[in-house]
């Protein structure tokens, strides 16, 4: 099964997550099919907290991919921010 989930990067005490499309059997930081955005929980100032290619996420969900709980909440937040910007 294909999942859209987070993979961790960044330094100690400064997490940074890429939002990726991957096979559910692969390791958290293992290989991925496509990178569709990122999430920076410690963003400050003008740094963007969430960057997400909503069209690609919709494409993958339409083809059967499942979102993890955290990615689902980030997706809703990104769609809401995109609607406000338009």
Distances (CA, A) of 80 to 21, 44, 54, 73, 77: 21, 20, 11, 11, 5
Measure the CA–CA gap between 80 and 44, rounded to whole angstroms.
20
The pLDDT-based confidence of 17 (bands split at 50, 70, 90) is very high
| Average pLDDT, integer, range 33-49 | 93
Give all domains of the chain, ordered by start, each with its CATH number. Answer: 2-85 (3.30.1320.10)
Q: State the chain's mean pLDDT as an integer.
A: 92
40 token code pair: 């920076």
The confidence score (pLDDT) of residue 8 equals 92
């Amino acid at each position: 099964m294909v999942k859209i989930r987070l993979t961790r990067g960044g330094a100690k005490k400064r997490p940074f997550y890429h939002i990726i499309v991957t096979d559910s059997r692969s390791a958290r930081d293992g290989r991925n099919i496509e990178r569709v955005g990122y999430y920076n929980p410690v963003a400050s100032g003008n740094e963007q907290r969430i960057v997400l290619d909503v069209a690609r996420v919709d494409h993958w969900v339409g083809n059967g991919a499942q979102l993890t709980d955290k990615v689902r909440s980030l997706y809703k937040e990104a769609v809401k921010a995109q609607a406000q910007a338009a």
